[in-house]
């Protein structure tokens, strides 16, 4: 409960911040996007990662305020970069399941887009498969509305949830993000290699883009590329960076 009231205060005091992790085309290493990742810059405890406060925020309902803040902050940052003359690739925002089911997801996007004059084509929504599965009908409706705004829809942490592969043909999604737990042990774990290969092949035949997360080595990049995975992110290329440090990437 103490953390809850502190988190409430943190939102009001603007202690949340976004970092951005670049995403690349694995074939030519061109920058194709960035994932916005929230952090809590606590005045005493320092930088608190999202796994330590997002679950709490979801339980307490504060997630709606945080999501609104994240959406607005991401659009505001895109506007700042555009005004500085950068060509800005798409920015991906993580959507909480709680928000998908009970929140004001659509309003968060539309109002941030209109406040900062950002087109939907500048944005991507990352949604975990567990939440898509909770209420598929509702998820289909929401995903369609986001799509109508021009926002790209990615399934985050793909392969780790309770996935029914049936939803892949029901949900109007663009992209699968292969969870980093499948990438971590490449090339030492033949099962993980078989799974990633299968996800890539399936995604490809369904006309979906595939992005592999958590790429840390050249070998992992080469393997994924050789199987036809065209997009990736991970420490090999870049860690999550402050908006200021991202400008170096935007400049070249």
CB nearer to ligand G: give 84 or 115: 115
Q: Does 35 bind Na ion (CB under 5 A)?
A: no
Q: List binders of Na ion among 137-196 (CB under 5 A).
A: 156-157
Binding flags for Mn ion, 65-104, as an x/- string (CB under 5 A): -----------------------------x----------
Quickly tell me which residue has 């369904």 as its tokens.
206
Name the token pair of 79: 């506007």
| CA atoms of 235 and 187, how far apart (whole Å) | 17
Q: Which DSSP category does 41 fall into?
A: E
CB nearer to ligand G: give 21 or 77: 21
| CA atoms of 32 and 47, how far apart (whole Å) | 27
For 99-150, list the strands marked E by DSSP. Answer: 123-128
Name the token pair of 114: 């209109």
SS3 of residue 237 by DSSP: coil
CB nearer to Mn ion: give 94 or 221: 94
Query: Who's near 57: CB < 8 A, 6+ residues apart?
Result: 7, 63, 66, 96
Name the token pair of 72: 């607005």
CB nearer to Na ion: give 147 or 161: 161
Q: Cβ of residue 231: shortest distance to ligand G, in angstroms?
A: 13
Q: Which long-range contacts (CB under 8 A, 24 or more apart) does 84-88 make?
A: 84/247, 86/247, 86/250, 86/251, 87/250, 88/122, 88/250
Partner whose binding site includes residue 54, from ligand G, Na ion, Mn ion, none (CB under 5 to 8 Å by kind): ligand G
Taking each helix axis from N to C end, the angle separating 190-205 and 218-226, rounded to the nearest 10 degrees, works out to 40
CB nearer to ligand G: give 51 or 244: 51
Q: Cβ of residue 125: shortest distance to Mn ion, in angstroms?
A: 10
Q: List binders of Na ion among 64-123 (CB under 5 A).
A: none
The piece of 114-122, 148-156, 194-202, 227-235 that touches Mn ion (CB under 5 A) is 148-156
Q: Which residues bind ligand G (CB under 6 A)?
A: 21, 37-38, 49-51, 54, 70, 94, 96, 156-157, 180, 213-216, 233-235, 240
CB nearer to Na ion: give 99 or 157: 157
Backbone angles phi, psi at 140, to 5 degrees: -60, -45
Binding residues for Na ion (CB under 5 A):
156-157
Residues at the interface with Mn ion (CB under 5 A) = 94, 126, 156
């Amino acid at each position: 409960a103490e953390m809850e009231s502190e988190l409430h205060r943190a939102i009001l005091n603007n202690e949340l911040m976004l970092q951005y992790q670049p995403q690349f085309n694995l074939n030519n290493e061109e920058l194709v996007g960035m994932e916005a990742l929230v952090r809590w810059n606590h005045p005493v405890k320092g930088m608190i990662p999202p796994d330590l406060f997002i679950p709490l925020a979801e339980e307490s309902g504060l997630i709606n305020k945080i999501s609104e803040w994240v959406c607005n902050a991401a659009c505001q940052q895109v506007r700042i970069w555009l005004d500085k003359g950068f060509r800005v690739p798409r920015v991906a925002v993580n959507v909480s399941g709680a928000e998908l089911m009970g929140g004001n997801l659509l309003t968060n996007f539309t109002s941030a887009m209109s406040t900062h004059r950002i087109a939907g084509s500048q944005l991507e929504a990352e949604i975990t498969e567990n939440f898509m599965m909770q209420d598929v009908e509702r998820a289909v409706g929401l995903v369609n509305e986001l799509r109508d705004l021009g926002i790209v829809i990615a399934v985050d942490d793909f392969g780790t949830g309770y996935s029914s592969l049936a939803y892949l043909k029901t949900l109007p999604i663009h992209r699968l993000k292969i969870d980093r737990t499948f990438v971590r042990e490449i090339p030492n774990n033949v099962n993980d290699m078989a799974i990633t290969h299968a996800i890539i092949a399936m995604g490809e035949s369904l006309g979906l883009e595939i992005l592999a997360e958590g790429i840390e080595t050249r070998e992992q990049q080469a393997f994924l590329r050789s199987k036809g995975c065209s997009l990736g992110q991970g420490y090999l290329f870049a860690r999550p960076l402050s908006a200021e440090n991202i400008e170096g990437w935007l400049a070249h």
